[in-house]
């Protein structure tokens, strides 16, 4: 993204980014990858159930993700990842985990699913990796001091 000066609306910042996936597409791809951690394949009905959407909505999104080269699927069949889909999905799972760990740390909680789902689409890759580095330092200090590093 080119360096821009001044303030913009959220839409203005988003228009300046080179993403080919919407936040909803990311949510679907992330869930497909999450399901594939324990399943061989994923079906549209299973995906719809997990995301609390109608099967027709899930089917449409699968078609969109397939068109972008992230998925392989057959009508009424199984959903599989392409290499591109696996790479993107692995990052989405990583990003989710990093943000959840970070928010749990600062909020002293066990799970921050709702907060993570609300913000994960708005934080860039550089920031995610910097949060990961911060967590590594914090966790190392916590192990060494047997208490929270503040």
Q: Please spell the DSSP secondary structure of 68-130, one letter per residue.
A: TTSEEE-TTSEEEE-HHHHHHHHHHHHHHHHHHHHHHHHHT-S--HHHHHHHGGGS-HHHHHH
The answer on pLDDT for 68 being more than 80 is yes
Query: For residue 6, is it within any domain?
Result: no
Average pLDDT, the chain: 90
Give the CATH number of the domain where residue 36 resides: 1.10.10.10
In the prediction, which pLDDT does 146 show? Answer: 72
Residues 80 and 39 in one domain: yes
If one counts the domains in the chain, the total is 2
**What percentage of the chain exceeds 70 in pLDDT?**
88
Among residues 35, 70, 85, the one where a domain terminates is 85
In this predicted structure, what is the pLDDT of residue 76? Answer: 74
Domain that holds residue 26: 11-85
pTM over 0.95: no
pLDDT tens profile 10-64: 766 666 665 679 999 999 999 999 999 999 899 999 999 999 999 999 999 999 9
Q: Which residues pair with 78 in a beta bridge?
A: 43
Asked whether residue 42 falls in the same domain as residue 81, the answer is: yes
Residues 95 and 108 in one domain: yes
């Amino acid at each position: 993204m080119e360096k821009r000066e001044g303030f913009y609306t959220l839409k203005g910042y988003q228009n300046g980014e080179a993403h080919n996936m919407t936040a909803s597409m990311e949510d679907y791809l992330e869930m497909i990858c999450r399901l594939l951690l324990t399943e061989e394949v994923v079906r549209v009905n299973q995906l719809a159930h997990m995301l609390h959407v109608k099967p027709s909505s899930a089917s449409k999104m699968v078609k969109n993700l397939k068109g972008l080269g992230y998925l392989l699927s057959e009508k009424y069949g199984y959903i599989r990842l392409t290499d591109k889909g696996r790479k993107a999905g692995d990052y989405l799972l990583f990003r989710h985990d990093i943000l959840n760990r970070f928010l749990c740390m600062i909020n002293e909680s066990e799970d921050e699913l709702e907060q993570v789902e609300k913000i994960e689409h708005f934080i860039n890759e550089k920031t995610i990796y910097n949060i990961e580095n911060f967590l590594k330092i914090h966790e190392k200090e916590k192990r060494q001091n047997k208490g929270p590093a503040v």
